[in-house]
Amino acid sequence: MNSAADALAKKNRRTILLITATAALGGLLFGYDTGVIGGSQLYFTKYFGLTPGEQGWAVSSALYGCLFGALASGYLTNQISRKYTLILSAFLFVLSAWGSGIADSLSELVLYRILGGLGVGMASMAAPMYIAEIAPPKERGQMVSFYQLAVVIGFFVVFVATYFIGGGNTATMSPQEIAALHDYNVERGWRVMFWSELLPACAFFLLLFTVPHSPRWLLMKGRKDEALTVLNRITEGPREAQLEFEDIALSFEETSKHHRVTLATKGIGLVLFLGIMLSIFQQVSGINAILFYGAEIFSNALGYGPEDALKQQVWLGTVNLLFTFVAIFTVDRWGRKPLFLAGTAGMILSLSILGLTIYTQQLGVLSLIAILAFIASFAMSMGPVVWVMLSEIFPNNVRGIAMSIAVAAQWLFNGIVANTFPVINRSALNAESFNGALPYFLFAGFCLVAFVFVWKLVPETKGKTLEEMEAMWTGERVFHSADEIEPEH
C-alpha cells in the first residue's frame, strides 16, 4: 500500500473509531440508566414506604418504557434515520435523569423512569444497528461489542458513583455516623444518584450531531451520493467503498425489482424467531435481576449492610467490565457461537453453586465468588454476543422492524424478570422450601435451555458481510464476500 493510501486508511480508521465510540455512548447511558436503580432503590423504597409489589414496579417501570422505545425505534430508524433516533433518545436520557431526581411521589418517579426507558429502548436498538452498518465486516463483531463494553462501563461507573454518593467506605465510621449517613441517603442521596446521569447524557446528546448518517439508511432513501461520501470516510480506500456501495445498492434494487423482503419472506420468519429467542434467553438468565437487585442480594441474602452492599456492587461492575474485554478480543476469532456456549456453561455452573450455598445456608466467600463468576461468564458471552448477532442477522430491508421486535422482546422479559424477582424472592415457597435459592435455580435452568437452543439451531455468522447473511437466510443472490471487500495492498 502506498503512503497516500496508507495515510487515508489510517485517517478513515480513526473516523470510524470515533463514530463507533460516540454511538456506543448510547450503551453507556443504557448501563447507567438501568444500573442507577440498583443503588438508589435501597433508599427510595424506604423514602416512599413501598411494598414489594410497588418496589418491583418502581424498578421495572423503566423497562416497559424500554419495550415501547424499542418498538418505536423500528419505525423511527427507518423514517428519521438511525442518527436522529439516537439524538431523540439522548434528549430523553437528560429529561429522565433530571426528573427522577426531583420526583416527590412514586407516580412521578415512575413517569420519569418510563421516559428514560423510552430513550434506553431506542438507543439499545439504534446504536448497535448503526455501528453494525458502518463497521468493516471482519471487525463488526468487535465494533458492536464496543457497544456492550459501553453498557458495562455504564454499569461500572454508576456503581462507583452510587457507592461514593452513598458515603463510600463506612468501615471506619461509628454506628451513629452510619445511621446519619443512611438517613441522608434515604432523604436526598438517591436523588443525587439520579442526577449524576446528567453529565454523560448531555455529552451523548451533543456528540451525536457530529456523526454521519448510516450509508445503508442513505441508500434506502435513495441518497446515493451521500451514501458513497460516507463510505469513502469509513472504508480503507475508494475500491472498498465502491464494492460495498454496489452490494448495498444491489440489495435494495433487487428487492424492489423482484420482490420485497418482508417478515413473511421465506427464511425471515426463522431468523426473526432466532433473534427473539436470543433476546429472551439473555434476560431470563437472571443477569439484570442480579445487577438491579445486587445491593439487596448482598444486603439480605449475604448479610451485608446497605452501604457495604453498595461496595460489593462495585465488584460486580469491575468483573463485568474486565470480562467484556475477553469478548471484544475473541468474538471475531472464536466466532459468536463457541463464545456463547462457553460462557453459558459457566453461567449454569456458577448459578447452581450460588443456589446451593443459599439453599444450604453456607453463605460466604463461595457465594460471592459464584455471583462474580456468573457476571464474568455473561460478560464474555451472552451479553455481547446477543447484541452482535441481533445487529447483523437481519436483511437490510427489514433490519429496522425485525431488530425492533427482537429488542422489544428483550425488554419485555427484562421487565418481567425485574418485576417478579422481588415477589418470588420474598415468597413463602422460596423461604420455606428453598431457603431463598429458588430464583437462582430457575435462572440456571433457563441458561441450560439457552445452551441447547444455540448449540442446535443457531448458525455461525462471523466474517460475513451483512449482504452475505441476507443471502444465507433468503437463498437469494450471493454478494461480494468479506474476503473480496478488502483494501488494495
- How does pLDDT run across 220-275, given as a tens digit for each residue? 888 999 999 998 888 877 888 888 888 788 777 655 554 555 555 666 788 889 99
Query: Which residues make Cβ contacts (< 8 Å) with residue 453, sequence separation at least 6?
Result: 277, 281
pLDDT over 50 (residue 53): yes
Distance between CA 367 and CA 251 in Å, rounded?
52
The one-character DSSP state at 375 is H
Q: Where are the alpha helices (DSSP H) in 293-398?
A: 294-296, 306-330, 336-359, 365-379, 382-392
pLDDT over 60 (residue 306): no
For the stretch 208-233, pLDDT in tens is 999 999 998 999 888 999 999 998 88
Cα 422–426–430 angle (5° rounding)?
Answer: 115
Length of the chain: 489
Look at residue 305 in the predicted model and tell me its pLDDT.
55
> Are 472 and 464 contacting, i.e. CB atoms less than 8 angstroms apart?
yes
Backbone φ and ψ of 408, nearest 5°: -60, -40
Q: Which three cell numbers stand for residue 425?
A: 424472592
Look at residue 80 in the predicted model and tell me its pLDDT.
94
For 83-117, letters b (16+ CB in 10 Å) and e give bebbbbbbbbbbbbbebbbebeebeebbbbbbbbb
For the stretch 416-466, pLDDT in tens is 887 788 788 888 999 899 988 899 999 999 999 999 999 999 888 777 766
Beta carbons within 10 angstroms of residue 465's beta carbon: 26
Instruction: Read off the pLDDT of each residue in 186-202 and give the average, rounded to a whole number.
Output: 93
CA dihedral (76, 254, 277, 25) in degrees, to 10, reads -40
Phi/psi class of residue 436: alpha, beta or left (left: φ > 0; alpha: ψ in -120 to 50)?
left
- Grade residue 475 by pLDDT with cuts at 50, 70 and 90: low
> Are 409 and 390 contacting, i.e. CB atoms less than 8 angstroms apart?
no
Element of type H or E holding 437: none
Instruction: Return the minimum-mean-pLDDT range out of 58-62, 215-219, 299-303.
Output: 299-303
pLDDT over 70 (residue 1): no
Distance between CA 253 and CA 215 in Å, rounded?
15
> Are 144 and 132 contacting, i.e. CB atoms less than 8 angstroms apart?
yes
Distance between CA 441 and CA 357 in Å, rounded?
11
For the stretch 101-125, pLDDT in tens is 999 999 999 999 999 999 999 998 8
- Grade residue 484 by pLDDT with cuts at 50, 70 and 90: low
Residue with grid cell 465510621, as numbered in its chain? 173
Q: What is the pTM of this model?
A: 0.75
Domains of the chain: 3-474 (1.20.1250.20)
Instruction: Read off the pLDDT of each residue in 132-152 and give the average, rounded to a whole number.
Output: 82
% pLDDT > 70, the chain: 86
Look at residue 266 in the predicted model and tell me its pLDDT.
61
For 10-36, letters b (16+ CB in 10 Å) and e give eebeebbeebbebbbbbbbbbbbbbbb
